[in-house]
């Protein structure tokens, strides 16, 4: 599969924007037309999951219905309609000797995407890879094998219709775990691995991969409420950051409240009223509705209606806490003082820092990237939401006029 | 050392441009003032090299004199005077919900530089790391231990004078090879390894590193002379690309001549007249002064006054040859036809492609980067000449007004 992907990548690298767009539109049509087939395949997977005793949450992720399949088709069209990143001139300059230097966007080559049992990732990841001119090898969760295969068939139909190589988007056709290991070791065949899933999967990939990885292990996101925060704004941001969706990596897991903030009681009360279990320490633990935090509650990714809460000594105290307990994913400050926000932005090195906005904005769609293949917290190449543009590399094109180096 | 570097990196990340500039100027002063000490240390290394039976070429790389030491000081001042990359806003945009998103340049963290016995790399790599806000661990060749230590002492003096942590630039103080292995495995302590040296060193690093690597293994650079090339320009570019300096990675190792190019004899004669051994195949091998190429001569990095030569069938033939034998480093086309040059630029994926210019321009200084820490041929993060800017990462700073995600 790796070698087939390499060959497809050579063709994709030069494929026109129109052809890639056409393939995604055709794939969207195929998904819409194949709804009965996809539902049938999904039913097989659900049966397999029931036999295996899959949890309700996992079953829900696995389940497809007409709306979800419609959303998959729509997602393909959205990515298809976005600007094509390949060939764009990122920078250009002239040298005193007359050389003109251009830095031009190119595909990376071959991506490997390893994910759990969300069949829609088959379409999302395939679409972003194609848009960015990369071939991709997809390895979905074993519970979603049939659903993913049915969606994958639609992607291949789209490629075929646009005259692009079918091997541009390949799906590992087996539940065998050895396939994952092979992907992680495939230096020279796969250029980068993108794991999508829980900490177990991402940790495994980060430990074992010999190929570079774009990922985040955890999203331990903090909201710091400064002494100069407007109370109503603070309450609304904290409640939104925690409760809008608790299972996503951008959900807040800890609220840090400035000693100088006078409205802590109402802030905690708003969380409690929203149904959040507040695990607090110090004087906050005396507030109604809170429970006393254990040592493990700070730096913990709950992904649930639970939040850790602590008093800190101003923005410096918040920075110190986040440096110690954070995962360099996303943190927010609420303050009316721009200088304090600037200090927060400067003192921390998370992929995303927000001022007076909810951590739930940590998302490629919300950043205007149209879609994302995941969020990365590493420092190299990709960081934050990874969209089509971040799935590219570049080359230098230099034009002279018989220019020699003295 | 890794932990000390991490701590220093935390301070460097927030160090002002002025302070970093001051440290580099002070280091340059220290180098100029320490000339006798550096020369004495270098004499110790040369003695060690003589006892070890070092080759003339390696001895020459190791040797320092007043001019070379002056150039080291000058290099420190040049890097110091360049624009500071950290904090620059690379991109910014607004979202319909009022969020303003900025992408801002930050340091990577801790670099590891492993090099052979060129003591000047101690200063170059230290300076570029500091400029880009990164801490660095330097591991020079064992033959240059005393010279590197003397130069390193000047870098530390500069840091001290500017009030920056001395651990920002550390030199491994031992000839023990285990230090290299430890650096290659130092995940979580070193963010990226940059090897500078021959194929043996780079190959070892690429095979064994568990930390990401910015490097190129080989510079198998090609010049394609198109049928529509102006003969005089073609001759001058080919001779410059091969002979200006043969030992650098941007030196041409193979000339590909279009079947339709009518002036091949004069082109080959110019190379022969310049003292180049031309290893040719096909009809080119019948030209005076050539020797018949063996199968291994294509895709070979000679780093010497030797070049492989072959006829190809137009630009497509050249692309095919380079895809098969190249190392994705640097290739040039000579042609008066812009459409042909465009096809060459599109069909190849080397880090640097040139039209009507010499491959010897593959160099950070020539690109206007002021200095380079090396040239990378990988697809991720850094590519082509790696200057201070490419030693950076980024973070997103997002400003709202109590903005919630619906």
What is the ipTM metric for this complex? 0.92
B12 vs chain A: nearest CA distance in angstroms? Answer: 11
Q: For A99, name the nearest residue in chain B, comparing CA atoms only.
A: B357
Q: For B343, name the nearest residue in chain A, comparing CA atoms only.
A: A14
Read off the pLDDT band of A372 (50, 70, 90).
confident
- A286, with CB counted inside 10 A (0-12, 13-18, 19+), is exposed
Q: Per the CB < 8 Å rule, is A357 touching B383?
A: no
CA A135/CA B121 separation, integer angstroms: 39
8 A C-beta contact, residue A307 and residue A271: yes
Q: Determine the 3-state secondary structure of B256 from DSSP.
A: strand
Helices B231-243, B264-273: axis angle to 10 degrees equals 30
Phi, psi (deg, nearest 5) at residue A252: -70, 140
- A371, with CB counted inside 10 A (0-12, 13-18, 19+), is buried
CA distances from B93 to A338, A367, A376, B96 (A): 19, 9, 20, 10
Residue B393: which of A108, A383, A405 has the nearest Cβ? A383
Helices A66-81, A120-131: axis angle to 10 degrees equals 10
Q: For A342, name the nearest residue in chain B, comparing CA atoms only.
A: B397
Residue B360: which of A240, A352, A405 has the nearest Cβ? A405
Q: For B98, name the nearest residue in chain A, comparing CA atoms only.
A: A357
Residue A381: which of B356, B380, B401 has the nearest Cβ? B380
SS3 labels along chain A = CHHHHHHHHHHHHCCCHHHHHHHHHHHHHHHHHCHHHHHHHHHHHHHHHHHHCCCHHHHHHHCCCHHHHHHHHHHHHHHHHCCCCCCCEEEEEECCCCCEEEEEEEECCEEEEEECCCCHHHHHHHHHHHHCCCEEEEECCHHHHHHHHHHHHHHHHHHHHCCCCHHHEEECCCCCCHHHHHHHCCCCCCCEEEEECCHHHHHHHHHHCCCCECCCCCCCEEEEECCCCCHHHHHHHHHHHHHCCCCCCCCEEEEEEECCCCCHHHHHHHHHHCCCEEEECHHHHHCCCEEECCHHHCCCCCCCCEEEEEEECHHHHHHHHHHHHCCCCEEEEECCCHHHHHHHHHHCCCCEEEEEECHHHCCCCCCCCCCCCCEECCCCCCCEECCCHHHEEEEEEEEEEEECCC
Residue A99: which of B361, B395, B397 has the nearest Cβ? B361
8 A C-beta contact, residue A154 and residue A34: yes
Q: Per the CB < 8 Å rule, is B357 touching A240?
A: no
Q: Which of A8, A182, A159, A173 is nearest to A112 (CA)?
A: A182
Question: What CATH number belongs to A2-214+386-398?
Answer: 3.40.605.10
8 A C-beta contact, residue B122 and residue B148: yes
CA B335/CA B231 separation, integer angstroms: 10
Read off the pLDDT band of A385 (50, 70, 90).
very high
Label the pairing between strands A252-258 and A306-312.
parallel
CA A328/CA A319 separation, integer angstroms: 12
Residues of A in contact with B403 (CB under 8 A): 356-358, 361
Q: For A347, name the nearest residue in chain B, comparing CA atoms only.
A: B14
Helices (H), B114-144: 120-131
B287 vs chain A: nearest CA distance in angstroms? Answer: 25
CA B38/CA B36 separation, integer angstroms: 6
pLDDT tops 80 at residue A370? no
Q: Quote the pLDDT of residue A399.
A: 95
Q: Determine the 3-state secondary structure of B74 from DSSP.
A: helix
8 A C-beta contact, residue B405 and residue B156: no
Order of all β-strands in the sheet with A192-196: A169-171, A135-139, A110-115, A192-196
Q: Does domain B221-361 have CATH number 3.90.1520.10?
A: no
Q: Per the CB < 8 Å rule, is A380 touching B244?
A: no
Q: Which of A295, A213, A13, A240 is nearest to A130 (CA)?
A: A13
Q: For A92, name the nearest residue in chain B, comparing CA atoms only.
A: B367
Q: Determine the 3-state secondary structure of B246 from DSSP.
A: coil
How large a percentage of chain A has pLDDT more than 70? 100
Helices B120-131, B145-161: axis angle to 10 degrees equals 30
Break chain B into its structural domains and give their ranges.
2-214+373-398, 221-361
Q: Per the CB < 8 Å rule, is B361 touching A403?
A: yes
A5 vs chain B: nearest CA distance in angstroms? Answer: 16
Q: Per the CB < 8 Å rule, is A352 touching B396?
A: yes
Residue A399: which of B191, B356, B404 has the nearest Cβ? B356
Span between the terminal Cα atoms of chain A, in Å: 47
Segments of chain B with pLDDT less than 70:
none
B65 vs chain A: nearest CA distance in angstroms? Answer: 24
8 A C-beta contact, residue A201 and residue A57: no
Q: What is the pLDDT of residues A48-95, one digit of tens each?
A: 999 989 888 888 889 999 999 999 999 999 999 999 999 999 999 999
Residues of A in contact with B347 (CB under 8 A): 14
Q: Quote the pLDDT of residue A107.
A: 97
Phi, psi (deg, nearest 5) at residue A170: -115, 145
Q: For A402, name the nearest residue in chain B, comparing CA atoms only.
A: B356
CA A371/CA B94 separation, integer angstroms: 17
B31 vs chain A: nearest CA distance in angstroms? Answer: 28
B130 vs chain A: nearest CA distance in angstroms? Answer: 17
Q: Per the CB < 8 Å rule, is A399 touching B233?
A: no
Q: For A380, name the nearest residue in chain B, comparing CA atoms only.
A: B381
Q: Per the CB < 8 Å rule, is A357 touching B240?
A: no
Q: Determine the 3-state secondary structure of B56 from DSSP.
A: helix
Q: Per the CB < 8 Å rule, is A360 touching B108?
A: no
Q: Per the CB < 8 Å rule, is A395 touching B233?
A: no
B282: left (phi over 0), alpha (psi -120 to 50) or beta: left
8 A C-beta contact, residue B254 and residue B325: yes
Q: Quote the pLDDT of residue A102.
A: 96
CA A393/CA A106 separation, integer angstroms: 5
Order of all β-strands in the sheet with B306-312: A89-94, A100-107, A392-403, B352-357, B330-334, B221-225, B252-258, B306-312, B277-280, B290-292
CA A397/CA A395 separation, integer angstroms: 7
Q: Determine the 3-state secondary structure of B316 from DSSP.
A: helix
CA B253/CA B242 separation, integer angstroms: 7
Helices (H), B82-196: 120-131, 145-161, 178-184
Q: Determine the 3-state secondary structure of B365 from DSSP.
A: coil
DSSP bridge partners of A349: none
Q: What is the pLDDT of residues A167-208, one digit of tens each?
A: 999 999 888 888 999 999 998 899 999 999 889 999 999 999
How crowded is residue A82: how many other Cβ atoms within 10 Å of its Cβ?
Answer: 18
Q: Per the CB < 8 Å rule, is A398 touching B244?
A: no
Q: Quote the pLDDT of residue B145.
A: 93
Q: Quote the pLDDT of residue B55.
A: 86
Residue A404: which of B14, B240, B345 has the nearest Cβ? B240
CA B184/CA B161 separation, integer angstroms: 31
Q: Per the CB < 8 Å rule, is B397 touching A355?
A: yes
Element (H, E) at B223: strand B221-225
Q: Quote the pLDDT of residue A58.
A: 85
CATH architecture, domain defined by B2-214+373-398? 3-Layer(aba) Sandwich (3.40)
Residue A354: which of B95, B357, B398 has the nearest Cβ? B398
8 A C-beta contact, residue B364 and residue B385: yes
Q: For A234, name the nearest residue in chain B, comparing CA atoms only.
A: B402
Q: Determine the 3-state secondary structure of B222 from DSSP.
A: strand
Q: For A365, name the nearest residue in chain B, comparing CA atoms only.
A: B95
Q: Per the CB < 8 Å rule, is B240 touching A99?
A: no
Q: Quote the pLDDT of residue B176.
A: 82
8 A C-beta contact, residue A168 and residue A345: no
Q: What is the pLDDT of residues A320-357, one digit of tens each?
A: 999 999 999 999 999 999 999 999 999 999 999 999 99
Element (H, E) at B204: helix B199-208
Q: Quote the pLDDT of residue A30.
A: 97
B107 vs chain A: nearest CA distance in angstroms? Answer: 9
* Interface mutation target, options B89, B372, B400, chain A, most CBs of A under 10 Å: B400
Instruction: Report the greatest alpha carbon distance in chain B.
Output: 79
Give the angle subtended at the CA of B169 by the CAs of B164 and B173, to the nearest 5°.
Answer: 135
Q: Quote the pLDDT of residue A78.
A: 92
Span between the terminal Cα atoms of chain B, in Å: 47
Residues of A in contact with B12 (CB under 8 A): none
DSSP bridge partners of A396: A103, B352
Q: What is the pLDDT of residues A117-130, one digit of tens each?
A: 889 999 999 999 99
Q: Quote the pLDDT of residue A117.
A: 83
A111 vs chain B: nearest CA distance in angstroms? Answer: 12
A392 vs chain B: nearest CA distance in angstroms? Answer: 8
Q: Per the CB < 8 Å rule, is A230 touching B354?
A: no
Q: Per the CB < 8 Å rule, is A354 touching B399?
A: yes
Q: Per the CB < 8 Å rule, is B353 touching A397?
A: yes
Q: For B341, name the nearest residue in chain A, comparing CA atoms only.
A: A399
Read off the pLDDT band of A238 (50, 70, 90).
very high
Q: What is the pLDDT of residues A278-316, one digit of tens each?
A: 999 999 999 999 999 999 999 999 999 999 999 999 999
Residue A395: which of B244, B368, B383 has the nearest Cβ? B383
SS3 labels along B320-333 = HHHHHHCCCCEEEE
């Amino acid at each position: 599969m790796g070698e087939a992907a390499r060959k497809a990548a050579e063709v994709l690298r030069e494929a026109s924007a129109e052809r890639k767009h056409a393939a995604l539109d055709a794939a969207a049509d195929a998904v819409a037309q194949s709804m009965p087939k996809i539902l049938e395949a999904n039913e097989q997977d659900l049966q397999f999951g029931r036999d295996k005793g899959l949890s309700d949450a996992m079953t829900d992720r696995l389940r497809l219905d007409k709306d979800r399949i419609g959303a998959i088709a729509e997602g393909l069209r959205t990515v298809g309609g976005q600007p094509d990143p390949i060939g764009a001139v990122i920078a250009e300059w002239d040298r005193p000797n007359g050389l003109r230097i251009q830095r031009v966007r190119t595909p990376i080559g071959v991506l490997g995407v390893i994910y759990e049992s969300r069949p829609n990732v088959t379409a999302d990841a395939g679409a972003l890879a194609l848009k960015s001119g990369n071939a991709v090898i997809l390895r979905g969760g074993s519970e979603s094998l049939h659903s993913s295969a049915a969606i994958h068939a639609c992607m291949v139909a789209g490629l075929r219709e646009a005259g692009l190589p079918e091997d541009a988007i390949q799906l590992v056709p087996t539940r065998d775990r050895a396939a994952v290991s092979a992907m992680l070791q495939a230096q020279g065949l796969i250029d980068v691995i993108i794991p999508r899933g829980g900490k177990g999967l991402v940790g495994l990939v980060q430990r074992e991969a010999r190929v570079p990885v774009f990922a985040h292990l955890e999203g331990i996101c903090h909201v710091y409420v400064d002494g100069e925060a407007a109370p109503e704004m603070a309450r609304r941001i904290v409640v939104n950051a925690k409760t809008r969706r608790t299972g996503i990596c951008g959900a807040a897991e800890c609220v840090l409240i400035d000693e100088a903030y006078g409205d802590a009681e109402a802030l905690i009360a708003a969380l409690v009223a929203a149904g959040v279990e507040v695990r607090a320490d110090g004087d906050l633990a005396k507030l109604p509705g809170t429970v006393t935090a254990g040592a493990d509650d700070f730096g913990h990714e709950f992904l649930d209606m639970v939040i850790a809460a602590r008093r800190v000594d101003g923005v410096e105290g918040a920075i110190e806490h986040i440096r110690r307990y954070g995962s360099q994913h996303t943190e927010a400050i609420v303050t009316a003082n721009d200088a304090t926000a600037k200090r927060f932005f400067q003192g921390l090195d998370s992929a995303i820092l927000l001022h007076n906005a909810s951590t739930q904005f940590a998302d490629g769609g919300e950043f205007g990237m149209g879609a994302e293949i995941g969020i990365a917290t590493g420092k190299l190449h990709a960081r934050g939401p990874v969209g089509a543009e971040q799935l590219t590399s570049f080359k230098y094109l230099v034009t002279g006029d018989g220019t020699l180096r003295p």
